[in-house]
Structure 1
Amino acid sequence: MAPVGSANFSPPTSLYLVSPCVQRQRLLISKNMHRGQHIVKFCVSSNLMATTTERRGFGFKNLTETFLVDVHRAEGGPLNVGLNAPLCINGSSNLDKVENVAVRIELSNGCVGWGEVAVLPNLVTVDQEEALETVLEACQFLKESPPMTLNLVLDEIGGNILPGPQFASVRAGVETALIDAVANSIAVPLWRLLFGGVSNSLFTAITVKDTYTSEEAFQVLAKSTEMGVTTILLEQPVHRDDWEGLRDINNVIARDVYGVNVIADESCRSLIDVQKIVKENHTDVIINIKLAKFGVLGTLEIVEFARKSGLNLMIDSMVETRLATGFAGHLAAGPGCFK
């Protein structure tokens, strides 16, 4: 068995496709009658996939309470990727390469999951070295733990191993790898596992933002219109604590005059902030969420609240590779509240 942080560690060439383990010929499930838990011993054969994926929804919550996670191997390593062009960060520095951390988790059934920890200067609280160190701590915990249900594993990761907003990006990488491994174990695509539906209206957009006063934001919109620029999204146009300015821009300027969607990004740092959007009747403001800001479980809480409250969401990345971006795409495809 290779040690945690093996030198042969390398990310996959394809992402969130069917794991090689689904080529095995049968699915053997043994049920613990006392606990009502299911232990997946082998992975679904490829000829069963169509039947499985045609289901309306798999029930992620129920799965977390019944699927026993038995980690055979867990490892992390640097994920360094050069950018095609330098990226300006907050107008102060240029980033010419990504220095993130990749996470690989292999279950005892042979199925593998991948995750990515975003490390972006000035936007996350850990650098690559610190992120890798905490990933390896989480991997060691997973390797040494006895089999336990997925919800208990995720609770332990989020509550004791990688707690709080300071470890959100690291937690997101580990959570992603665990959920991906479980999805591969039952041969269900991530979007169907998480929500059971699929959107046909996803799009990508490039936004330019800064921290203006509400009056300055109005001037930017007016000037861009004069120049013939069609503005679709206005992302976090005011300081994150300027809720009055956000309201004025959304209600008076952007929506009524220019028909522009206003996005709250830095203003929403927790579920409490998202709830404040609803409480103050800003339900037409689009909430921008990031896995690296909330972690996977925190993001799912916000998605569920948004679905019940009629909020629209968007999701973006923090200079991540297809490991994290692919998972974000699956997450956005299912719930129907991503604009």
Structure 2
Amino acid sequence: MTTIRTHSDAITKVELWPVDIPITDPFVIATGSRVVAQNVFVRITLQSGAQGYGEMAPFPEVGGEDQATCLSVATRLGKALLGQSAAQYRRLADLLQDLAPLHSAARCGLEMAALDAFCRAAGIPLWALWGGADVRARETDITIPIADLDRTVALARGWHAKGFRLFKMKVGKDVDGDVRRLEAVHRELPDIAFIGDANQGFNREECIAFVNGVKRFGGRLVLLEQPVARDDLDGLLALRHLTGIPVAADESVRSLDDARTVLEKQAADYINIKIMKTGVIQALDIAAFARGAGLRLMIGGMVETRIAMGSSFGIVLGLGGFDVLDLDTPLLLADDPIKGGYAYSGPRLHPWRESGLGLTTDAGHEVTLIE
């Protein structure tokens, strides 16, 4: 990875503000639901005047953090960042990890803003910092939350009309109902493929029943994402062999050590990289480790705007080697508060060329200022 040093890269100001953005349809998964993305935006200013943006996107039922926790923890962490060099972004990530090991979303937003500011000061896009190995438009899947049959089909039909062909179906609450939902979508749209994302909602027997049900109606199920509990690595391994469907470890991998354990147990075919689980720098380390170990790479997010999702897309463009992109949540929000940055056309994400993340957003009314 490139290391670039600039003058005046000391962090002089950290700003935090809460952001509440309605989700167009309730985002229902096996372990919880969201109707509003309750996130936190960050802006970091360097001594040079360069500014960078970050985002904290907690999902309490998945990571245990919420908006209030992120604001509180990030206020404390922001004070520790004052005077630190944004050029030493890896050391900053280690400092944040030491100070708040259990608050990955809060750490992630601050890392992201520091990296964005540093790259803007250096005059390079964020993805160039990671090498720019695969700078091209890429396609994402689209997520269909758990909903009743009619709403599921209506959502699928709408996204299909916009060009989406890989549907990530949230499942894991009711096996028979899950199979019926996927079958209804398949009958309506036979040219699509499915990812089944149970968010730990199945046990082993339920997952096998789900896969067999999809096979019976002829659905194309290309990936099982975290079908069983995060600690049940034996279950993940068994399902790889018993279903014949590749398995992605998501909640099972919240650190580099977790990724090593998944490899040791041969529990997954894919690692799902999510910066909100780990922070940006550790996500890069996990991706490099997974690729070097022969595991395939998927990348996703929580319910994020184009700030956090742009950071993840920057990892894709910079490192290369990602097979499955699940970078769709800005499309599920009722409003886009971001100006600039990467752009969508149907399922395609188009790279940006401006420095940093190439985007801006207006500060909210409840800004916490740290300087």
TM interval, shorter chain, is 0.7 to 0.9
Q: The residue matched to 1:98 in structure 2 has which SS?
A: strand
- For 1:118, the aligned partner's letter is A
Q: Tell me, yes or no, if the aligned pair for 2:86 and 2:115 is still in contact at 8 Å.
A: no
The answer to whether the Cα contact below 8 Å between 2:16 and 2:71 also exists between their aligned partners in 1 is yes
> Does 2:296 correspond to 1:327?
no
| Residues 1-339 of structure 1 mapped to structure 2, 5 A cutoff | 59-60=1-2, 62-63=3-4, 69-90=9-30, 92=32, 94-143=33-82, 145=83, 149-150=87-88, 151-160=90-99, 163-164=100-101, 166-198=102-134, 200=136, 202-205=138-141, 206-208=168-170, 209-210=197-198, 211-254=201-244, 260-281=245-266, 285-339=269-323
320-329 vs 201-210, greater mean Cα deviation: 201-210
- TM-score, scaled to structure 2: 0.66
Shift of 1:215: 2.9
Cα distance in 2 for partners of 1:125, 1:239 equals 16
Q: Aligned to 1:334, what secondary structure does the other structure show?
A: helix
**What SS is found at the alignment partner of 1:97?**
strand
Cα 1:294–1:125 shift into 2, 3 Å: same
| Bigger mean CA deviation after superposition, 106-115 or 146-155 | 146-155
Q: Take 2:84 and 2:111, find their aligned partners in 1: how far apart are those partners? A: 18
Q: Secondary structure of the equivalent of 2:133? A: coil
TM-align CA RMSD: 2.3
Letter aligned with residue 141 of structure 1: A
Paired-residue identity, %: 31
Runs of 5+ consecutive residues of structure 1 not aligned to the other structure: 1-58, 255-259
Higher RCO structure, 1 or 2 (CA under 8 Å, sep 6+)? 2
Q: TM-score, normalized by length of structure 1?
A: 0.72
Q: Deviations over 1:16-40 (max 9, x none)?
A: xxxxxxxxxxxxxxxxxxxxxxxxx
The structure number with the bigger radius of gyration is 1
Q: Give, in whole Å, the separation in 2 of the partners of 1:125 and 1:216.
A: 26
Instruction: Output the amino acid matched with 2:107.
Output: R
Structure 1 pair 309–114 and aligned structure 2 pair: CA distance change class (3 A): same
Please tell me the residue identity of whatever aligns with 1:178. Answer: A
Following TM superposition, by how much is the alpha carbon of 1:228 offset from its aligned partner in structure 2, in angstroms? 3.4
Residues 244 and 127 of structure 1, relative CA distance in 2, 3 Å threshold: closer
Asked if 2 retains the 8 angstrom alpha-carbon contact of 1:113 and 1:177, the reply is: yes
Would you say how many aligned residue pairs link Structure 1 and Structure 2? 268
CA distance in 1, matches of 2:22, 2:237: 39
CA distance in 1, matches of 2:230, 2:72: 31
Structure 1 contact 74–139 (Cα < 8 Å) conserved? yes
